[in-house]
Amino acid sequence: MVKITLLFFVTALAEITGCFLPWLWLKKGGSSWLLLPAATSLALFVWLLTLHPAASGRVYAAYGGVYVMTALIWLRVVDGVKLSHWDWFGGMVALSGMLIIVSGWGSK
């Protein structure tokens, strides 16, 4: 369970980075060279999704919970926005949903 959760967080970081860099280019006047690491990051994101040991629909559903929490942490660390108790609570609910889904991967 820990290995899968960590893999989800790495996957989410790759996706967020791949989307953040073009945002910097378009919204903040960053260099168009940001598109190269963005494309690489998104390709890494897709590849990482293939490493999960479940059907794609289950992977995507469980990944959504980790993505929410990772995006909130990104908001705090990268964007410098203080998170509210509601942000943390919602992130924990989403992460709990991922843990419930992943717990059932071994059963039929």
Distance linking the first and last C-alpha atoms of the chain: 17
* DSSP secondary structure code for residue 34 in this structure: G
Looking at residue 108, its pLDDT comes to 59
36-74 per-position pLDDT tens digit? 999 999 999 999 988 987 777 888 888 899 999 999 999
Instruction: Give the CA count within 13 Å in the CB-facing half-sphere of 54.
Output: 18
* Type and span of the H or E element at 88: helix 85-103
Domain range annotation of the chain = 2-103
- The reported pLDDT for the residue numbered 48 is 92
The CA dihedral of 93, 94, 96, 102, to the nearest 10 degrees, is 160
